[in-house]
């Protein structure tokens, strides 16, 4: 099977060809992408209240928005997708509203539900923990932030086994070996796996497939003192 995308030497989402082929390319690269997307729809039903506020951070072409649209509409929630690449935004097909902006500079309103699906690994390493902390602060009580990302591998043989699992899964989807290697090399310096220690302590894992992990991060509970 021929790869759907000519891999750029230096990976970027600000590229017409990357944007054009993104939807097919991401499914070739990550066979669990559809399953994890469905999990977002499920969590949306759990955390989006009536007239709630919802963000899709790093929205690309609108995958998450399309998955949770039914709940957003049914609950009459406000949905905002944020995407910094104009090329990706031009192909956006999710629900309105789309904002073309840097997600780290964006002025968020407090929200009930936000999704960061395969985005943090593209943000500068030094800002990630602070960004996650800010998002958690912005989460309303009862709400949640959901993160799916590539993580740093544990030391030892298990890390090798996890990395090879990713490679094997890409092959199984029919991606040509040369395209897999070119993509890996193209990502150097731009995609850097997340250090799980940068996540808030309340993060709960709901998914793991080798190098890729998903967490739900609820608002940190502040327990009031009961007067006796």
Q: Is the link from the previous residue into 97 a cis peptide, with omega within 30 of 0? A: yes
Q: Which is nearer to ligand SAM, 37 or 136 (CB)?
A: 37
Among 39, 53, 64, 203, binds ligand SAM (CB under 6 A): 64
- How far is residue 165 from each of residues 151, 160, 214, measured CA to CA in Å? 14, 9, 17
What letter does residue 174 receive in the DSSP assignment?
T
Q: How many residues bind ligand SAM (CB under 6 A)?
A: 20
Q: How far apart are CA 97 and CA 161, in angstroms?
A: 41
Binding of ligand SAM at residue 81 (CB under 6 A)?
Answer: no
Which residues 116-175 are close enough to bind ligand SAM by CB under 6 A? 117-119, 122-123
Q: Which stretch binds ligand SAM (CB under 6 A): 90-98, 111-119, 131-139, 214-222?
A: 111-119
Binding of ligand SAM at residue 212 (CB under 6 A)?
Answer: no
Q: Which stretch binds ligand SAM (CB under 6 A): 3-11, 114-122, 175-183, 214-222?
A: 114-122
- In the complex, the smallest distance separating the C-beta of residue 26 from ligand SAM, rounded to whole angstroms, is 6
Closest-CA residue to 30 (of 190, 172, 160, 147): 172
- How far is residue 217 from each of residues 13, 135, 167, 204, 221, measured CA to CA in Å? 27, 10, 29, 6, 11
Q: How far apart are CA 127 and CA 159, in angstroms?
A: 25
What residues pair up with 145 in beta bridges, in sequence order? Answer: 114, 217
Among 41, 99, 104, 209, binds ligand SAM (CB under 6 A): 104
Strands (E), the chain: 53-57, 78-83, 98-100, 111-117, 139-150, 203-209, 212-218
Binding of ligand SAM at residue 39 (CB under 6 A)?
Answer: no
Q: Which stretch binds ligand SAM (CB under 6 A): 55-63, 150-158, 181-189, 208-216?
A: 55-63
Binding of ligand SAM at residue 84 (CB under 6 A)?
Answer: yes
Binding of ligand SAM at residue 48 (CB under 6 A)?
Answer: no
Binding of ligand SAM at residue 82 (CB under 6 A)?
Answer: yes
Contacts to ligand SAM by CB under 6 A: 13, 26, 58-60, 63-64, 82-85, 88, 102-104, 117-119, 122-123
């Amino acid at each position: 099977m021929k790869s759907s995308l000519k891999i750029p030497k230096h990976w970027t989402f600000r590229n017409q060809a990357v944007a054009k082929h993104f939807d097919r390319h991401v499914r070739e690269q990550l066979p669990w992408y559809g399953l994890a997307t469905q999990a977002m729809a499920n969590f949306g039903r759990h955390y989006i209240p009536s007239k709630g506020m919802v963000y899709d951070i790093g929205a690309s072409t609108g995958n998450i928005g399309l998955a949770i649209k039914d709940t957003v509409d049914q609950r009459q929630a406000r949905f905002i997708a944020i995407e910094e690449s104009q090329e990706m935004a031009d192909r956006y097909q999710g629900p309105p509203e789309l904002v073309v902006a840097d997600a780290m500079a964006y002025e968020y309103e407090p929200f009930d539900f936000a999704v960061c699906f395969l985005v943090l690994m593209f943000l500068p390493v030094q800002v990630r923990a602070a960004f996650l902390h800010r998002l958690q602060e912005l989460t309303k009580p009862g709400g949640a932030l959901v993160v799916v990302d590539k993580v740093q591998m544990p030391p030892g043989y298990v890390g090798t086994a996890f990395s090879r699992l990713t490679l094997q899964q890409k092959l199984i989807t029919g991606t040509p070996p040369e395209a897999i290697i070119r993509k890996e090399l193209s990502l150097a310096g731009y995609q850097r796996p997340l250090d799980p220690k940068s996540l808030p302590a309340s993060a709960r894992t709901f998914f793991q497939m080798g190098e890729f992990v998903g967490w739900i991060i609820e608002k940190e509970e502040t327990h009031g003192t009961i007067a006796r």
